[in-house]
Amino acid sequence: MRILKVLVVVMGIMLIGGFAVLVAVIAGRLSYKGGAPRTFATAIDIPRGARIEAMATGADRLVLDVVLPEGGRHLLVIDLTTGARLGIVELRTTP
């Protein structure tokens, strides 16, 4: 019976401590203002007549789905930390 009382007290302390940590983490994240938004002085060149049909982002990448005027498609990969073009993936239809 004594062991049961000790376990109940220990679990109660752990429950209160865990709740306190959870409240502290939530309060810390809500009070974080973050830095100023980044802006780039870089331009992204796409061919004349092309249009951006879709965009997708990852942790530090932006992928643009570019539809070319002649009907082809490219995926343009851009690094979000620097604004630099990382590469182009040409999409082709299978015969």
Domain spans, the chain:
1-35, 51-91
The 10s digit of each residue's pLDDT in 9-51 is: 999 999 999 999 999 999 888 887 766 666 666 788 888 999 9
Provide the pLDDT for residue 93: 82
Q: CA-to-CA distance for 62 and 42, rounded, in angstroms?
A: 14
Whether the CB-CB separation of 61 and 54 falls below 8 Å is answered with: no
Provide the pLDDT for residue 74: 92
The 10s digit of each residue's pLDDT in 52-72 is: 999 999 888 999 999 999 888
Provide the pLDDT for residue 35: 64
Tokens (6 digits) for 14: 């752990």
Q: What is the pTM of this model?
A: 0.55
Give the least confident one: 1-5, 16-20, 28-32, 75-79: 28-32
